[in-house]
Amino acid sequence: MCCDICPGNLLILKNKKVAIRDVKDCWGCTACIKICPKNAIYYQLSADLGGAGTKLFANDEKNALKWTLKFPNGAEKIIKIDKNQSNRY
């Protein structure tokens, strides 16, 4: 699913696992993260977006998109966005 959703066609299957062709070409749109049902893909945030080493995961729930930030110190922060209200941001 994530290979099909990537607008830049950057994801490929390699040994039955998804790999990115070249990470420098990634637009950071997070489409692959949002569609992944296994939480197998995360976005590594730079220092200005949450601290070096912080990982961003997403879970697509029925009426909400739940973003989970996992910080290097083990702390987590969850941000839920109501899908019906998401265009307001």
Q: What is the pLDDT of residues 57-77, one digit of tens each?
A: 888 888 888 889 888 899 999
Tokens of 43: 């976005």
Q: Residues with Cβ < 8 Å from 53, sequence gap 6 or more? A: 44, 71, 72
* pLDDT exceeds cutoff 70 at 30: yes
* pLDDT exceeds cutoff 90 at 18: no
- Average confidence score pLDDT of the chain: 83
- Residue 37 binned pLDDT confidence (cut-offs 50, 70, 90): confident
> Is the overall model pTM greater than 0.85, yes or no?
no
23 CB-side CA count, 13 A: 5
Q: What type of residue sits at position 13?
A: L
